[in-house]
Chain A
Amino acid sequence: MKVIEVENLSKTFRVKQKEKGMKGSIQAIFRPQTTQVRAVDKVSFKVDEGEVLAFIGPNGAGKSTTIKMLTGILYPDGGSVKVLGIDPVKKRRQLAYQIGTVFGQKEQLWTHLTPYDNFKFFGAIYDLSDLETERRIRELTDTFALSEFINTPVRNLSLGQRIRCEIAASLIHRPKVLFLDEPTIGLDPVVKENIRSLIKRMNQEFNTTIFLTSHDIGDIEKLCRRVIIVNSGRIVLDDSMAHLQFADASLEDVIMKIYSNGSA
């Protein structure tokens, strides 16, 4: 079964521009200039159940825009999206019950509450019964080794502990697909490794499909079996990890080459 099906997906943004100096400031009042930016340009791909996919590209390549269209945050301008057979545009809430999202730089937890209270809150959001929420919290506490700080307010946790809680919270409802947008950003190497092995275990134990964006080569090498590289809104490479590593150069070199070609 295809978990994600994307056909000719496109999204255009209108961006305001201003020329420099006092003259530009005055000009912008009377004649505001805008340009169209094609953030995502006719992107098509499919993802199988249980796959771990790296969706990477340089800053501003359209990664986040794509992830946001897959999760129902943004409306596409063109093309079609199906996640678990559901159209995120039409049935956003129905889809939301079955997917999990972690945006590395944005917090979804209440920082003045303990992880436990946060999990209870998310349990309520996903319509779990109290009994079931408790059971899930126990499971997640074991899997993510949260027991020593489950009752400490989130704002007093270290970044690594916090991101573990973020990921755990996004799993409370056993999502079938997990979208991870730079989950290891700003973490030290030990914690990074820890998070990676957790993601790996989740994929193996529950066959959760994982859709990951990251700038960290380590994340990609250690986790993913397939890589899609986007640049300027287009897919420039879609290949299996095994195949990529056959090449003489390291993955890092391959990626660097593609990034710099695309933007030239």
Chain B
Amino acid sequence: MRIMRKYAVVYRSVLMENLQYIGNIALGFVGYFILIFVFMNLWGYMYGEPGTRIAGYTKEQMIWYVMVTEMIWFGARTGAIVNQVTTDIRGGNIAYLMNKPYHYTLYILARHTGEWCIRLPMYALLAVAMGLTMVGRIPGFGIPALLSSATSVVLGVTINGVFKICISLMSFWIEDARPFQWLYDKLILIVGTLFPIEIFPAVVRPFFKLTPIYTVCYGPAKLVVDFHMEQYSEILLRQFLYLAVGIGLMFFIYGKGVKRLYVNGG
């Protein structure tokens, strides 16, 4: 545990640093609000008369679903995973950072956590406020659903961070890793953020379930709108699995990258 203390300090200082920017984060609400508003209109139009179900979801569930996924999307978009790794590697800063007595990737992950710990709760409050006033309560949502979806959201955000770091680490080899970030983001967005996986044709669904996408957005949001204990354990299991795989991959890529750096001298 002693070893983890330094990451806790990084986390705390980033948290403090970001408290200054609460106003800025709140300005970001505009984007979230508008997006959800567009979706309310879109689903309002698609559902037509009340009582219809699309892919097994009621209109309210469908809107809550996108509110939760977009909350994760906006809340987890931290500077640490969006720019920092690429900037560090491309700018040459990595040479100083990798010799510090911590693991660089865990340092970034701690920074990521420090940032989303402020962003995500703020977006969660906004989502709840918007949902309760503009959509209405979700039937069947209680304390168990709240607790289980909260853990699932935290895991989802962390998994997302780990995979984004993995992609950024490609900067060791290529000049610009952003195009791969876009593709990853789009995959997450199309498959699992804008609408639930059930909307896709049945043939592709099992394939989606195998990808990390399932654990980042779909899983947590599904638990919010339609809670079942069995599903919770299944999603949780998959999340832990992906987290382990992701961290392993992250360490592996980083190790390879650093070796390459030593060989080529930056």
Contacts and interface: CB of A to CB of B under 8 A. Distances in A.
Q: Do chains A and B touch in the complex (CB under 8 A)?
A: yes
B94 to A, nearest CB: 21
Interface string B190-234: 000000000000000000000000000000000000000000000
A15 to B, nearest CB: 15
A22 B16 contact: yes
A21 B16 CA distance: 8
The 8 closest A-B pairs by CB, nearest first: A25-B19, A25-B16, A22-B16, A29-B22, A25-B20, A28-B20, A26-B19, A29-B19
Interface in A27-56: 28-29
A18 interface: yes
A29 B16 contact: no
A25 B19 CA distance: 6
B118 to A, nearest CB: 11
Contacts of B16: 21-22, 25
B235 to A, nearest CB: 35
Nearest to B19: A25
Contacts of A18: 20
Nearest to B15: A22
* Interface footprint category on B: under 10
Interface secondary structure of B, over-half rule: helix
B91 interface: no
* Interface footprint category on A: under 10
Contacts of B265: none
A25 B12 CA distance: 12
Contacts of B20: 18, 25, 28-29
Nearest to A22: B16
B56 interface: no
A26 B22 CA distance: 9
B23 interface: yes
A128 B135 CA distance: 65
A25 B14 CA distance: 11
Contacts of B23: 29
B41 to A, nearest CB: 34
A29 B21 CA distance: 8
Nearest to B18: A25
A112 to B, nearest CB: 14
Interface in B9-41: 16-17, 19-20, 22-23
A24 to B, nearest CB: 9
A26 B20 CA distance: 7
Contacts of A26: 19
A68 B220 CA distance: 55
Interface in A1-36: 18, 21-22, 25-26, 28-29
A33 to B, nearest CB: 12
Contacts of B17: 25
Nearest to B23: A29
A28 B20 CA distance: 7
A177 to B, nearest CB: 37
B26 to A, nearest CB: 10
A49 B22 CA distance: 53
Contacts of B22: 29
A22 B16 CA distance: 6
Contacts of A28: 20
14 contacts: A18-B20, A21-B16, A22-B16, A22-B19, A25-B16, A25-B17, A25-B19, A25-B20, A26-B19, A28-B20, A29-B19, A29-B20, A29-B22, A29-B23
